[in-house]
């Protein structure tokens, strides 16, 4: 019996290149339905350019975070779990989407100058444990959602404050050399 990868390879057109268009989408802050029983994960919640080097990892982080939130909330509090998951994940994912746009622009600019620029992958990214983060921050995030208590995500670059952004605005600011969400310590 053929294995799935073999079937996929054999189904591609022979002797042709398939041009898969990349779709950019601005960060989408809300990933849950109004009732909190439906939640978007992975590419349905956030799109990543290949230059981010992180799309698949973030889909897995989404799944791990959601499961941890559901475990804490238990079955009678599913809407709370999905909303907390959304709060815990959105800013981190938005930073990573911006990083993908920034890496793409750096790669394009470096090619024109004959240089090689490697993607930024700081410790805040590679050392993050989404399950433990959800367990540690769940109650604090829930208090923010329900009672408006202060909450700050810490699963992002240290010292970098989240500010809403759009792809067009970010690319334009990069091209003009203006400050962006990408400024700061991303190590």
Q: Could you read off the pLDDT of 35-44 as tens digits, one per residue?
A: 999 999 988 8
CA distance 120 to 53: 9
Mean pLDDT score across all residues of the chain: 88
pLDDT at 70 over 70: yes
Residues in CB range of 155: below 8 A, 6 or more apart: 88, 91, 92, 124, 128, 130, 133
pLDDT of residue 108: 73
- Angle between helical axes of 55-73 and 78-112 (0-180°, round to 10): 160
- Burial class from Cβ neighbours inside 10 Å (0-12, 13-18, 19+) for residue 160 reads middle
pLDDT at 116 over 80: no
- For residues 7-32, average pLDDT: 81
CA distance 107 to 124: 22
Q: Could you read off the pLDDT of 128-183 as tens digits, one per residue?
A: 999 999 999 999 999 999 999 999 999 999 888 899 999 899 989 988 989 888 88
Other beta carbons within 10 Å of 123:
11
pLDDT of residue 169: 94
Residue 47 pLDDT grade (very low, low, confident, very high; cuts 50, 70, 90): confident
pLDDT at 107 over 90: no
pTM of the model: 0.83
Q: HSE on the CB side for 96, CA within 13 Å?
A: 29
Q: Residue 32: what are its φ and ψ, rounded to 5°?
A: -115, 150
Element (H, E) at 80: helix 78-112
Answer for the pair 23, 97: CB distance below 8 angstroms, yes or no.
no
């Amino acid at each position: 019996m053929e294995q799935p990868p073999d079937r996929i390879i054999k189904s591609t057109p022979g002797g042709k290149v398939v041009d898969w268009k990349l779709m950019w989408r601005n960060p989408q802050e809300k990933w849950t339905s109004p009732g909190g029983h439906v939640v978007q994960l992975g590419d349905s919640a956030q799109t990543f350019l290949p230059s981010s080097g992180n799309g698949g990892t973030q889909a897995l982080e989404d799944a791990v975070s959601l499961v941890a939130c559901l475990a804490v909330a238990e079955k009678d509090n599913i809407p709370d779990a999905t909303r907390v998951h959304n709060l815990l994940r959105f800013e981190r994912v938005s930073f990573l989407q911006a990083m993908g746009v920034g890496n793409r622009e750096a790669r394009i600019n470096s090619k024109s100058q004959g240089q090689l620029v490697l993607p930024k992958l700081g410790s805040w990214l590679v050392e993050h444990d989404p399950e433990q983060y959800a367990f540690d921050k769940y109650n604090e995030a829930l208090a923010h959602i329900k009672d408006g208590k202060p909450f700050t995500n810490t699963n992002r670059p240290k010292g970098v404050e989240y500010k809403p952004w759009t792809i067009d605005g970010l690319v334009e600011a990069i091209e003009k050399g203006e400050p962006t969400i990408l400024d700061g310590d991303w190590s």
